[in-house]
Amino acid sequence: MKKILSLVLTALLILGLAVSVTAEDALKLTAPSGAPALAVATMAAEDPDSFTFIAADTIAAEFAKAEADFIIAPLNAGAKLYKAGKSAYKLAAVVTWGNLYVATQKAGFQLQDINGAKLTLFGENTINASVVLYALKAQGIEPAETEYLAGAANTQALLLSDPEAIVVTAEPALTAARMKNDALTAFAVNELLSAAGMDGYTQAALFVKPETAEAQPEAVAAYLKQVEEACGKCASDVDAVAEAAVKLEILPNAKVAAAAIPNCSIRYAAAADAKADVEKTVAVDPAQFGGDVPADDFYYEAK
């Protein structure tokens, strides 16, 4: 009897250690809460302890700490930090391709109405602002005046409060605004970029910690496959992503989430496959990427 009890206790101890090791070895991901986090929302809802969602303005600190196995961040930020030697994280995949919109309450508004008018953007000296102005210029449009507010929530508030304002905002803020005023007119910046030969732009990306990639190549490859599948659900199973986004408090309610997700341009492209698109985005404003296209060693390739 004692021998049986001893065997049972030994088995439980081994099982406990296995669970402990599995928990410790689970790959960790950090991302800004908001549209980029939607790319992995269904994964995070299933295993919330392995995901950390933070304020966008703390991303640089996450790269510096180098604690997470993966980081989702603006691609230009990751590239600029890598070039400056302030991050060793490599580009694993692009996951979002532009969620920006030009919007107004003006009846009968056409993009050409921006010529000679004032345009209010968010994020001065950012790649998002540069892309918008580049896309408009490709259409032969240049505002007479530009002003900048802090974020998309700020331009959303102006959009709703000022019937004469022409603003740049982003999803999901635009969808939330439309639920308060369904007469808003909006044009997707990605559609304007087609005149410049671009299918969106490389906005947010998934970065991998090189030590993790070296030590656990098979686990990293499997994880990237999971992220690809999670991104795919943003097109194939919007309701599941919306439910996950609400559960994680990424978005306030399922109605906003379900309407906004298809407009967030979430799709997975492995680093090597996205290189040409990255370089097209760099050409819009090289300063946002440290002055030049990223070096070849910035791109992660599974071994």
Residue 13 lies in a domain: no
Q: 170, 196, 222: which is the final residue of a domain? A: 196
> Global pTM?
0.90
**Are 91 and 111 contained in the same domain?**
no
**Are 140 and 289 contained in the same domain?**
no
How confident is the chain (303 residues) per 10-residue block, as mean pLDDT?
A: 43 40 70 94 97 93 97 97 97 98 97 97 96 96 97 96 97 96 96 93 98 97 98 97 96 93 97 97 97 97 78
**Are 228 and 292 contained in the same domain?**
yes
**Are 292 and 207 contained in the same domain?**
yes
Q: 168, 196, 224: which is the final residue of a domain? A: 196
The CATH number assigned to the domain holding 67 equals: 3.40.190.10
Query: In terms of residue numbers, what domain contains 153?
Result: 106-196
**Are 90 and 213 contained in the same domain?**
yes
**Are 253 and 111 contained in the same domain?**
no
Residue 177 lies in a domain: yes
Residue 20 lies in a domain: no
Give the closest residue to 297 by CA, choosing from 46, 132, 91.
91
**Are 218 and 166 contained in the same domain?**
no
- Say if CB 131 and CB 204 are below 8 A apart: no
The CATH number assigned to the domain holding 125 equals: 3.40.190
Residue 214 lies in a domain: yes
Dig out the tokens for 59 from the structure. Answer: 């991303």
Identify the pLDDT of residue 21: 33
Identify the pLDDT of residue 150: 94
Identify the pLDDT of residue 25: 67
Identify the pLDDT of residue 34: 87
Structurally, the chain folds into a number of domains equal to 2
Give the closest residue to 153 by CA, choosing from 177, 134, 131, 130.
177
Residue 159 lies in a domain: yes
DSSP strand E in the chain: where?
29-32, 51-54, 70-74, 90-96, 100-104, 118-122, 145-149, 166-170, 185-188, 204-208, 266-270
**Are 178 and 162 contained in the same domain?**
yes
**Are 255 and 215 contained in the same domain?**
yes
Residue 6 lies in a domain: no
